Amino acid sequence: MIRGSCLCGDVRFEISGKLSEASHCHCSMCRKAHGAAFGTYAAAKAAEFRFESGEDRITRYRSSAEVVRAFCARCGSTLPWPRETEPDVVDVVLGVLDDDPGVRPSHHIFVASKAPWYEITDTLPQYATRP
């Protein structure tokens, strides 16, 4: 079981299965939404993901044709969102996990849009957009 929660604790969720496909995303939308150098996400099966509390506290924002992002209305923590193009997948933001996700990011995506103030110094594969 992998648990996660927002900063204020209003929103709590749990994942009963394993996460996969972890990566760092350097797209400008992730950078803005997170206010950080990059966002880090892994995939959960929708059937294994559930909100324990606070789902009604989530604000959703469509940032592109394929992505509707989620965050806590009270504290602003970025939260997992269902993948629109694959309804059986939830994209889980690793930063709000309380437990070790059990996976490690395996690559960087949208590196062409990377922040000028951040250097990638690891040896993970880098993709200009998606693999």
Contacts to another protein by CB under 8 A: 5-8, 22, 24, 29, 31-40, 59, 61, 63, 69-71, 73-79, 93-96, 100-101, 103-105, 115-119, 121-123
Closest CA to 55 of 100, 95, 90: 90
SS3 call for 25: strand
- Nearer Cβ to another protein (44/77): 77
Q: Which is nearer to another protein, 85 or 121 (CB)?
A: 121
78-81: long-range pairs with CB below 8 Å, 24+: 78/33, 78/34, 78/39, 79/6, 79/11, 79/13, 80/4, 80/13, 80/44, 80/49
Beta bridge partners, 126, equal 108
Nearer to another protein, 77 or 111 (CB): 77
- Closer to another protein at the Cβ: 56 or 122? 122
Residue 11 C-beta: closest distance to another protein, Å: 11
Find out whether 61 and 30 touch, Cβ atoms under 8 Å: no
Q: Least distance in Å: CB of 88 to another protein?
A: 22
